[in-house]
Structure 1
Amino acid sequence: YAGRRSSGTPFFRHAELQQAGVPVLAGIYGTNPAGGGYQGITPTILIAHKDANIAVGGAGIVSGMSPKGGFDVEGLEQLIAVTRDFKERPPGRVETHYAETGFFTRVCDEETGVLDGIKEYMRMIPAYDPMFFRVAEPAAPKLAADDLYHLLPFNQKETYTFEELLARLVDGSEHLEFRPDYGPEIYAGLVKIDGMAIGVIGNRQGLLPKGYPEYADYPGIGGKLYRQGLIKMSEFATHCGRDRIPMIWFQDTSGIDVGDAAERAELLGLGSTLIYSIQQIDVPMMLVVLRKGSAAAHYIMGGPNANRQNAFTLGTAATEIYVMHGETAAVATYARRAVKDKDSGKPLEPIAEKMNEMAQKYYDTSRPAYSARHGFVDEIVNLKALRGYLLAFTGAVYQNPTSTCPRHLMLLPRIIRG
């Protein structure tokens, strides 16, 4: 590495290489404190010898972290005792950075084993073996996919628990939820698909907690988007972009909240903010429209219409995609006409007939088959087969990524764990 910034250069060079999709492999031997620790932690894959360590400060540095303005015999005796202890159990040893933090990808008993490990990882490049990016061993969901048709009602007015669906689709039926106490209409969190990290966002259904949304005097209903939920999605997507984690969206949304209170709460701007965030982060995305994909909410929640990151979109037998519900469209179109006809003494039956015709047309042109034929979705899938599509998406996006973040340098899992 050229010395543009002297000995600190490898730190940012490693980041540059990985951001360009070039992995950095490191063999870790011996003691590596301070700058040596940072040079050791910044590569993509860390393969360590059993006696190696990497640390912010080694024995000598830690022992001298409390200066007293000079040295005397008593102080030296204390220093000797501390140094001996650190020599026996140095900071950043294997039991810490393999068994606890997971910084070390692999630990080898023999020094030659480290070199063999690097050769093995080199054989996985450039069409990456999945092991290169796995954060855990692959695992099937603990709960059966056969439950999905029971859990997802076809009736759009019936509610369900999004996490119950997710538990039938992801490894081990496990997830790490992002900000569970904020924006309750939205689920956001990390899951594993085939052992690899994926960010997930989905709509929750049903009546939301009392007092939400906080800016209005009416109750919040799941499926609709409010201020906190829009902010939460932008934050989560931004963190996924920073950590280079692909995203899967699960839509069942009736739209964004409307009215004076919603305008004062900046929802128009926050919806556009989410579009900006998605376009900025540049990570691959997949969308599953579970039931409703309505109005601008369909666009901003990873919809193929409003970003370049959407790889493909799936629908189900319950999918409905429309710019607005048919009855809403009919009211928006004919409400003023109805007022005029009423004031002029004209009969209202013709208007009611036209409104019903419009509502029916919206219904007919939002069905799953229509959505597939006209490219609103790429395919209508059997819910029991949905995990297979998630596996295919995950394997494809991790096979040859244009930009990576080492798992031990990811920020989002640490934010979630606190």
Structure 2
Amino acid sequence: MRLFQTQVNKHSEAYQKNYEEMSVLLNDLNLKMEKSRFQGKEKHILKARSKGKLLARERVELLLDQDSPFLELMPLVGLGGKGLGVGGTTVGGVGLVCGKLCMVISNIGTLKGGAVDYATLNKSLRLGEIAEKHHLPVVNLVESAGAHLPEQERIFNYGGASFRDITRRSKKGIPNISVVFGNSTAGGAYVPGMSDYAIFVKDKAKVFLAGPPLVKMATNEVVDDESLGGASMHSKVSGVSDYLAEDEYDAIRLAREVVAQLKDATPQQVPDTEVQEPVYDIDELLGIVSADIKVPYDAREVIARIVDGSEFSEFKPDYGNTLVTCFAKIHGYKVGIIANNGVLFSESANKGAQFIQLCNQNNTPLIFLQNITGFMVGKDYEEGGIIKNGAKLINAVSNSEVPSITLMVGASFGAGNYAMNGRAYEPDFLFAYPNSKIAVMGGEQLAGVMELIQREAAQKAGLPYDEEQAKNLRAYMMAEVDKKSTAFYSTGQLWDDGILDPRESRNYLGFCLAIVNNKVYEGTSSYGVFRM
């Protein structure tokens, strides 16, 4: 592979402007991330401390190996909504426990008792999906009041999927370990009940289908919570608990013991022992990537700052040049990279489809760098088969069976989102830069299209066209589309797995590649019919 020769001028006005504007977006991201780390009011935290309890993030830190990375996922889910908190009431992500990659999910018991709202439910389901797909043992650090009752109509029907998925993972030999630190009531009792291993903290864990008040109402039986569902009872009588821990530290020790004896993963790729860092400074991405998605930039400059040694082998470099396709390594893992360098034409779509076939043939994971306004439109392009050629690329993306990771580094509009492995195409991970935008089309284009349609309708009906009303409607539509297409709105809706500081791209991709290579996979040679 050859070293890419950068053309970036760090002293140019465009670079300096981008760097400044991206820095503003990153400051906003950091403020929002700080909100996501909120673990409840001070009085609730002090109460927990007085009972010898650790906070949710402290439990995660103690469980993980010393100096283990922790890939926190969906930290801003629910942003801008009316849920219980930014990020929901759980902390979730992947880290190393006794040298094994594990999904760790920790209820924030000091935030509304760890009750599960709509955002938290969807976050938890996505975490479970990732764990199942990549054969990651799941460690649940449990302390939850169950469903957030004011949202019960949004939670109840789909909430059972989290229990279903525990058993399905177990069927595949993917263990679930529950460590119960406090309440786990009603439906929540099934989390430890369905787990492969259950650890209860003495005098703290309370697990029952119905608490003492409901038992009194239903059966007129009077019973205290310890006798009804305490850790000692479940460890010595019911058998719901497999291990009785003396305190929280002992519970975490036991959880690590359990993980230590689990069978080792069978990785697909083992990374190089010696890894070359990029030649070019990754900090330069802030000046390269345009904060304004209307301003183009060369995707190769981004690639050169995230791949090993800033080296890559470009496939078909002189054909379909609005799509960059290349082979490279990231943290010692071989990858195929597909990156937008402009609107998609027939040639670039065909090139992308062929490249995906090659990566499947060679069992090479795919990285998509998505900055796309869509496919080229117009009479000549329709006659040239832009639909059938675009369909080839979407066909290849849809049926590809090697792991894929998508980074939204700019625009993500229209069918371009589909062709570049958007959320609907089930990438293993999908992250966004804070400048990215996702929509059917840009606000200005959408408002313009609607205005043309309305003008034509008025003309056909023989009615006057209200210019003032059209002006107001245009401004409203542009504002709405712009507001609901931002990276921060998108991540709040769980349309991605998190927003990245571009300077963390290489680290995130490297760790995600370790996760997707946690099991054996095989590319495919089977696709839907390619219209020729």
TM-score band, normalised by shorter chain: 0.5 to 0.7
Conserved? CA contact 2:346–2:390, under 8 Å:
no
* Structure 1 unaligned spans of 5+: 1-124, 205-221, 406-418
1:373 to 492, 507, 517: 492
1:398 to 517, 524, 531: 517
Partner-residue secondary structure (3-state), 2:339:
strand
Paired residues for 1:185-264 under 5 Å: 185-204=322-341, 222=342, 224-264=343-383
* Partners of 1:366 and 1:190 in 2: CA distance: 31
Matched residue, 2:433: 316
* Partners of 2:273 and 2:358 in 1: CA distance: 20
The answer to which of 138-147 and 292-301 deviates more is: 138-147
* Partners of 2:267 and 2:399 in 1: CA distance: 28
Distance 1:178 1:136, change over 3 A: farther
Matched residue, 1:285: 404
* Partners of 2:447 and 2:376 in 1: CA distance: 19
2:281 to 144, 151, 164: 144
1:127 to 265, 282, 292: 265
1:328 CA displacement? 1.8
1:341 CA displacement? 4.2
Matched residue, 1:304: 423
1:346 CA displacement? 4.2
* Partners of 1:349 and 1:365 in 2: CA distance: 25
Conserved? CA contact 1:198–1:247, under 8 Å:
yes
Partner-residue secondary structure (3-state), 1:257:
coil
String of CA shifts for 1:326-360, please: whole Å, max 9, x gaps: 12222222313224546634431111211221111
The answer to which of 272-281 and 193-202 deviates more is: 272-281
Paired residues for 1:348-359 under 5 Å: 348-359=467-478
* Partners of 1:155 and 1:345 in 2: CA distance: 37
Conserved? CA contact 1:185–1:229, under 8 Å:
yes
Partner-residue secondary structure (3-state), 2:423:
coil
Structure 2 residue 301 is the aligned partner of structure 1 residue 182 = no
Conserved? CA contact 2:274–2:332, under 8 Å:
yes
Distance 1:334 1:228, change over 3 A: same
* Partners of 1:202 and 1:363 in 2: CA distance: 24
Partner-residue secondary structure (3-state), 1:399:
coil
Conserved? CA contact 1:188–1:202, under 8 Å:
yes
Partner-residue secondary structure (3-state), 1:256:
coil
From the CA coordinates, give the structure whose radius of gyration is larger. 1
1:377 CA displacement? 1.6
Matched residue, 1:332: 449
Amino acid at match of 1:355: R
* Partners of 2:410 and 2:364 in 1: CA distance: 25
1:137 CA displacement? 3.4
Conserved? CA contact 1:238–1:278, under 8 Å:
no
Structure 2 residue 504 is the aligned partner of structure 1 residue 385 = yes
* Partners of 1:403 and 1:366 in 2: CA distance: 35
Distance 1:239 1:135, change over 3 A: farther
TM-score by length of 1: 0.59
Structure 2 residue 387 is the aligned partner of structure 1 residue 268 = yes
- Aligned pair count reads 260
Q: What is the CA RMSD across the aligned residues, in angstroms?
A: 2.1
Structure 2 residue 161 is the aligned partner of structure 1 residue 161 = no
Amino acid at match of 2:265: A
Conserved? CA contact 1:372–1:379, under 8 Å:
yes
Conserved? CA contact 2:293–2:436, under 8 Å:
no
1:136 CA displacement? 7.6
Partner-residue secondary structure (3-state), 1:379:
coil
Conserved? CA contact 2:267–2:519, under 8 Å:
no
Partner-residue secondary structure (3-state), 1:369:
helix
Distance 1:194 1:334, change over 3 A: same
Distance 1:178 1:344, change over 3 A: same
Conserved? CA contact 1:291–1:320, under 8 Å:
yes
* Partners of 1:337 and 1:146 in 2: CA distance: 47
* Partners of 2:521 and 2:295 in 1: CA distance: 42
* Partners of 2:431 and 2:374 in 1: CA distance: 19
Amino acid at match of 1:152: V
* Structure 2 unaligned spans of 5+: 1-262, 525-532
Partner-residue secondary structure (3-state), 1:344:
coil
String of CA shifts for 1:304-337, please: whole Å, max 9, x gaps: 21x24x1121111101000111122222223132
Distance 1:141 1:326, change over 3 A: same
* Partners of 1:399 and 1:393 in 2: CA distance: 10
Conserved? CA contact 2:409–2:432, under 8 Å:
yes
1:278 CA displacement? 2.1
1:126 CA displacement? 5.9
* Partners of 1:376 and 1:169 in 2: CA distance: 24
String of CA shifts for 1:207-243, please: whole Å, max 9, x gaps: xxxxxxxxxxxxxxx2x11010000000000100111
Conserved? CA contact 1:320–1:368, under 8 Å:
yes
Distance 1:279 1:345, change over 3 A: closer
1:279 CA displacement? 2.9
TM-score by length of 2: 0.47
* Partners of 2:444 and 2:267 in 1: CA distance: 51
* Partners of 2:364 and 2:455 in 1: CA distance: 51
* Partners of 1:344 and 1:404 in 2: CA distance: 59
